[in-house]
Amino acid sequence: MTTLNRRQFLRDAALSAGGLCIAVPLGQALALEIHPKQYSVNTAYIRIPKVGPVVFVMPKVEMGQGIYTGLALLIAEELELRLDQVRVEPAPPLPAVYGVDGDQSTGGSTSTRDCWQRLRQAGATVRQWLLESAADHWHVPLNECRAHEGVITHTASQRELSYAACAAIAQARPLPSVVKLKKPAEFTLIGKSTRRIDSALKVDGSAEFGIDVRLPQQVYARVALSPTLGGHIKHCDSAAGLAVAGVIQVVNEHDVIAVIARHNHAAQVGLEALKLEWHDGPYASVNQADLMTALHTAMHSSAGAIAHQHQAAHAPMSGAQRVHKAEYFQPLLAHATLEPLNATVHVTGTTVRIWTGTQAPDRLVEHVARLGFNPANIHVYNQLIGGGFGRRLDVDFVEIAVRIAKHHPAPVQVTYSREQDMQHDRYRPCYLDQLEATLDAHGTPIRWVHKIAGGSASVPWDGKALTKGVDADAVEGAANLPYQLPSVDVRYLRVEPKAVAISWWRGVGPTRSVLVVESFIDELAHLCQADPIEYRLRWLHDPRARHCLTTLAELAHWQTPLPANHGRGVSVHAEFGSYLAQVVEVEVVDRQIMVRKVISVMDCGIVVNPAQVKAQIEGGSIFGLTAALCGNVTLSKGAVEQSNFHDYPVMRVNEAPSFESVLIASEHNPGGVGETATACIQAALLNAIFNATQQRIRSLPIRLTEA
C-alpha cells in the first residue's frame, strides 16, 4: 500500500490528467518503492525498464476471462509493441488511480469498457513522448521518426534508439498533453485473434494462483465455520487437535476455529480431532420452504416499488383482449469456483501482507483496515484467480485469514475445503417473478406487468439504501426491456433469504431478468401462433439487436424442421453494452436433456481479440447451461445442504454442446462479453425444451415430467 499523502498526490495527478490517469508520472515516493534505477519511464500504467520487456501495470484482475491479454493488446497497439514485448503486473490497491469512480473491482463485464480509452491513451502518450524525445535528440523533424516494435527510427538516416535508451536521455521531458489515437483502420493488433499470454504459464504449471503461494517459514491452516449463519462454538477439544503430529496451534475465534500446522494434511487431521460442537444461532429453524413462503407472501401482499412505468399516449386498450400470466422461480446459486477460497497472510506488528486472488483489491484493504490496521500498512499481492464469477468480489475469507494470522508470527495460508467453499458461499439470490401480459387481437402486448421478488446483492456490497426501494441490478433487463411496448409496469419487492449471505454472481441482474423476459415473450409468441423470431422482431427496434437476430435466424436455419424429440429455442440479450442472440438445439429422450448445439451472433462493438470473445461466449454459455440444468442451493435447519460437485454438479466436457459463434463487424466502442452469454442462454434452453417436449419450464433447475 501507499501512504495517505501519496494517495492524495496520485488523486491530484489523476485529476490533472482529465480524470483518466493516463501515463501519469507517479512521483518520487512510489518510484522509490519500485526501485526506480531499474526504469527509464515510470507511469501509472507503463514502465519502461532499462533491460527487458515493457511493464504494463494491469488495472483489472485476471480470473480466466483473458483480460491480461485483452488489455495488454490496447497498450501494445498504441505503444507500437509486439505482445511478447509486454510483461503484465497487477496494479496495487489504488482506486484513485486504477479504479473507475473510486472502484477498482473487476466485474460486471466492465474491464474492456472501462479501459478502452484510458489504456490506449496511455500507450499513445508514451509513444508520442518517445518520438518527440528522439526527434529532439537527433535534431530532426518529428514526422521523420517512426516507432515500431520497441525502437524509434529516424527514417532518413536509419539511426535507431531503443525505447529504453530514448527514455533514458529524456527523463526530464514532460509527457505530451495532447496525443492522437489510432483509427480502427490503422490497428495492427486489435481485431486479430491472439493467443493468451497467460496460457503457457498455466499449461506448464508455472503460473501462480493464490493457492500456490509459498513463503519462507509458511505454515498452513484449515478452518471450521459455523454450519449456520450467526452460530458460534459450543465445544472444542483443543488438546486433541494439538496432539496431532505437525499441529502447531489451535485458534478459537468463536465463530471460526482454525488449526495451524506445518502442512495441510496435519491441519486437516487436527481439525477433525477437535470434536467441534456449535450453538446454531438465530437461523437454525430455517428451511427451504420458508424461503419460498416469504417470496410468495411478498408477491401477493405488496404492490412493490416502481422500477419502471410507461404508457404511450396512443397505447390501445380497447378491442378484443386476452390475458396471459406466468410465474417463474430461480433458486439460490453457488459460484462453485475450481480454486477453493484461500489467502496467505503475514502479520508483523502493525503491518499485514496478503497474498490472495481478489476481484476487489481496494475493497480488501478497506475491510482489513476495519480489523485494526492502518490502510498504509496493508500490502496486497494479487495472484491469478482460479475462477471468480463474482465470489471474489467479497473478501470475507480474507478477513478470516487475517484474524487467524494475527495469532501466529509466520505467514499463514488459510484454505477452505470444497465443502466449506460451497456451504459458506455468498449466493446469487433466489427470485420469484410474476408476469402478466394483455394482448390485443393482433397479438400485441398492449399491457406488460412484471413483479420481481428477491434479495438485493447491492445493499451488502455498498451498504447503501436502495433508491426508492428498487435494486437497479435485480431489475436490469426487466425495467429496460429491449422491446418497445405501449404499456410497461415493472415492480420490485425486496425479500432477503434468511440464513444465507448473498452477493454477485456471473451475469448479475440480467441472468435472472433475461431468462424470465425471453421465456415469457416466447410464451406470448406461442399463444399467438407466431414464429418466435418474427414475433420478437415486431417489437425489437434497436438496429444492432435486430441485425443479430436476423443474422442468427439465417445461420441457425431456423425454419428447417428438426427430427422428433429435438427442439430449437431462441433468446436475445441487450446488456453490458453488447448485443447477443442465441439459438440452442436440444434432444430430449426419456426426460434426459442433451444440449446438442449453441449458435450465437454477437455485436460487442470493436472486437479486441476475436478468439477470446468467442471463448467467453462458450464459457459463459456453459456457465448458464449448468445453472439452468443443475444449479440449486437449498436449506435445511439453517444450513446449506449441497457440499460438493456430487450434489452441485457442473456440466462436463462430454455433456457440452458444439458451438458456432459469429461476431458482427462494428465501429462502436467495445461492450462487455464475459457475462452476456450466461444471461442470454438460459431462456434459449428453456424455449428449446418447450419446442421438443411441449413442457414449459418455469422453475429452475429444470425438471421434466413424464409425457
**What DSSP string runs through 555-584?**
HTTTTS---TTEEEEEEEE--TT-EEEEEE
Per DSSP, the three-state class of 281 is coil
The dihedrals phi and psi of 328, each to the nearest 5 degrees, come to: -120, 140
CA atoms of 585 and 561, how far apart (whole Å): 12
CA atoms of 114 and 108, how far apart (whole Å): 11
First vs last C-alpha separation in the chain: 62
Q: Which residues contact 157 (CB under 8 A, 6 or more apart)?
A: 138, 140
CA atoms of 303 and 325, how far apart (whole Å): 16
Tell me which H or E stretch contains 434: strand 431-440
CA atoms of 132 and 176, how far apart (whole Å): 9
Q: Is the dihedral of CA 33, 38, 40, 41 positive or negative?
A: negative
Predicted confidence (pLDDT) at residue 36 exceeds the cutoff of 70 = no
In this prediction, residues 357-383 reach a mean pLDDT of 97
CA atoms of 46 and 23, how far apart (whole Å): 7
Q: Taking the C-alpha atoms of 545, 547, 552 and 558 in order, what is their torsion angle to the nearest 10 degrees?
A: 100
The per-residue b/e assignment along 355-373, b for 16 or more CB within 10 angstroms, e otherwise, is: bbbbbbbbbbbebbbeeeb
Could you tell me the CA-to-CA distances from 481 to 166, 283, 310, 514 in Å, in that order? 54, 37, 11, 9
Tell me which H or E stretch contains 625: helix 610-629
Give me the CATH code for the 210-280+341-415 domain, please: 3.30.365.10
Each residue's pLDDT tens digit, 107-120: 999 999 999 999 99
Give the closest residue to 291 by CA, choosing from 327, 251, 330, 345.
330
CA atoms of 285 and 638, how far apart (whole Å): 6
Would you tell me how many other CB atoms lie within 10 Å of the CB of residue 107? Answer: 23
Under a CB-based contact definition with an 8 Å cutoff, are residues 462 and 499 in contact? no
CA atoms of 264 and 266, how far apart (whole Å): 5
Give the per-residue pLDDT at 707: 64
Lowest mean pLDDT among 66-75, 164-173, 537-546, 606-615: 164-173
Among residues of the chain, what percentage have pLDDT more than 70?
Answer: 93
Amino acid letter, 121? Q
Q: How far is CA 366 from the centre of its chain?
A: 20
Q: Which residue has the cell 435466424?
A: 553
Q: Which residues contact 682 (CB under 8 A, 6 or more apart)?
A: 511, 514, 515, 571, 624, 625, 627, 628, 700
Amino acid letter, 171? Q
Which residues in 441-510 belong to E strands, given as ranges?
445-454, 487-494
Q: Which CATH architecture has domain 4-185+198-203?
A: 2-Layer Sandwich (3.30)
Give the per-residue pLDDT at 321: 87
> Is 203 buried (19+), middle (13-18) or exposed (0-12) by CB count in 10 A?
exposed
Would you tell me how many other CB atoms lie within 10 Å of the CB of residue 458? Answer: 21
Residue 39: band (very low, low, confident or very high) from pLDDT cuts 50, 70, 90: confident
Q: Which residue has the cell 538516416?
A: 157
Predicted confidence (pLDDT) at residue 22 exceeds the cutoff of 60 = no
Lowest mean pLDDT among 7-21, 370-384, 442-456: 7-21
CA atoms of 440 and 446, how far apart (whole Å): 7
3-state SS, 265-320, equals HHHHHHHHCCCCEEECCCCCCCCHHHHHHHHHHHHHHCCCEEEEEEECCCCCCCCC
Give the closest residue to 361 by CA, choosing from 385, 395, 389.
395
- Diameter of the chain measured on Cα atoms: 84
Instruction: Please state whether beta strands 445-454 and 431-440 pair in parallel, antiparallel, or not at all (unpaired).
Output: antiparallel
Helical spans, DSSP H, in 141-183: 163-168
Under a CB-based contact definition with an 8 Å cutoff, are residues 83 and 197 in contact? yes
The per-residue b/e assignment along 24-38, b for 16 or more CB within 10 angstroms, e otherwise, is: bebeeebeeeeeeee
Under a CB-based contact definition with an 8 Å cutoff, are residues 617 and 681 in contact? no
Give the per-residue pLDDT at 19: 31
Tell me which H or E stretch contains 8: helix 4-16
Each residue's pLDDT tens digit, 130-172: 999 999 999 999 999 999 999 999 999 999 999 999 999 888 8
Give the closest residue to 664 by CA, choosing from 608, 607, 703.
607
Predicted confidence (pLDDT) at residue 268 exceeds the cutoff of 90 = yes
CA atoms of 504 and 109, how far apart (whole Å): 12
Give the per-residue pLDDT at 42: 79
Give me the CATH code for the 289-331+427-693 domain, please: 3.30.365.10
Q: Which residue has the cell 484454505?
A: 415
The CATH 3.30.365.10 domain(s) of the chain lie at 4-185+198-203, 210-280+341-415, 289-331+427-693
Helical spans, DSSP H, in 303-451: 361-369, 396-405, 418-423
Give the closest residue to 549 by CA, choosing from 514, 601, 478.
601
Which residues in 262-410 belong to E strands, given as ranges?
277-279, 305-311, 321-330, 342-348, 351-356, 378-382
Under a CB-based contact definition with an 8 Å cutoff, are residues 137 and 166 in contact? yes
CA atoms of 258 and 94, how far apart (whole Å): 31
If you average pLDDT over every residue of the chain, what do you get? 93
Each residue's pLDDT tens digit, 483-514: 999 999 999 999 999 999 999 999 999 999 99
Q: Which residue has the cell 462458450?
A: 618
CA atoms of 78 and 127, how far apart (whole Å): 7
Would you tell me how many other CB atoms lie within 10 Å of the CB of residue 641? Answer: 16
**Which residues sit opposite 493 in a β-bridge?**
453
Provide the grid cell at 89: 503486473
Instruction: Please state whether beta strands 635-636 and 639-640 pair in parallel, antiparallel, or not at all (unpaired).
Output: antiparallel
Provide the grid cell at 53: 520487456
Each residue's pLDDT tens digit, 79-135: 999 999 999 999 999 999 999 999 999 999 999 999 999 999 999 999 999 999 999
Give the per-residue pLDDT at 172: 83
CA atoms of 654 and 639, how far apart (whole Å): 32
Each residue's pLDDT tens digit, 278-323: 999 999 999 999 999 999 999 999 899 999 999 986 666 656 689 9
Per DSSP, the three-state class of 153 is strand
Under a CB-based contact definition with an 8 Å cutoff, are residues 339 and 211 in contact? yes
Each residue's pLDDT tens digit, 335-356: 999 999 999 999 999 999 999 9
Q: Which residue has the cell 475445503?
A: 417
Q: Which residues contact 461 (CB under 8 A, 6 or more apart)?
A: 393, 503, 504
Tell me which H or E stretch contains 139: none
